[in-house]
Structure 1
Amino acid sequence: MPIKFATCSYLEFRPEMGLPVRTTAGEARFIRYRVAGWLDALTPSRWFINKPDAEFTHFMIQKIEEAGVDRIVAQAQAIADHHGQPDATIVLLCFENLKTKAGGDWCHRSLVARYLAEKLGYEIPELGTVAPMPAAAGGSIEPSEPEPEQLSLL
């Protein structure tokens, strides 16, 4: 079976999710677990990290394609093998908490997940908390309990 991927934020990651793998230029110094490895090909380069979304997407996809999906999968498998967990899910981590992001799903790890899912032919789940995407942004609004009505006593 091919290596499995998932995504999450550093803060929301839990060991039962799989092997934590860094996809950021900087290391998370605030976490209390050990990161299993780093996938540089899935890490935004500092020179394009603050570009507008369209440019960022172009450069990020270009970086992934230059590395090659087969090489990325092989590196992920090597991390899993090194830790004695060849069937583990590789959890791609970054700093973004998608619940607090406008639109609910934009950061480089979500871009990476969509790209890899398309190339690998299977869904790559987000394991952190994701806010529902507004319908105007092309997503669907999750059903929820109606908000209680605030009544006035005056």
Structure 2
Amino acid sequence: MSTSETPFDPRQHRMVAEQRWFEDFVLGERFPLPSRTMTSAIFLAFQAASGDNHPIHYDREFCRAHGLSDMLAHGYQIAIQTAAGAGIFPHLVEDSLKAFLEQSSRFLHPVVLGDTLYPCLEVDELTSNRTTGVVGLRSTVHNQNGVQVLDGRHRYLLRRRVPLAP
């Protein structure tokens, strides 16, 4: 280390230098997440992690016999595509995040092997408290044809930068 360098501080090793607090978010703000094609490797990894062994998710011939074009992705396999950690949101709130409060999902259309998914989170709730606030994020997933396959919600409890007066 040269004499002009400052010592390494792991607390300063961040993807996003400027942190955000509850009051920094605005309704309609979007956080796109990386797209992902549902490959057989993803199907296998989900099966290994979940223990789900129903043939509708892992047996092509079973699926075709039941009128599907290919293996059907499990609903949770689609919901996990909206994990905020895949994007920038959690890096923005490293200092202000208190809790991940809840998640819900509605599955609107089937997803089969080979579909490419485009998840996104959008601020749709800002509920202020004295020292904290709840940021609600609408979660959506669209497929390669523009069809929305999932609609859901995440809610996070964040600290305020400056507490409101009592």
TM-score if structure 2 supplies the norm length?
0.22
Structure with the larger RCO, 1 or 2 (CA within 8 Å, 6+ apart): 1
Structure richer in strand, relative to its length: 2
TM-score if structure 1 supplies the norm length?
0.24
Structure richer in helix, relative to its length: 1
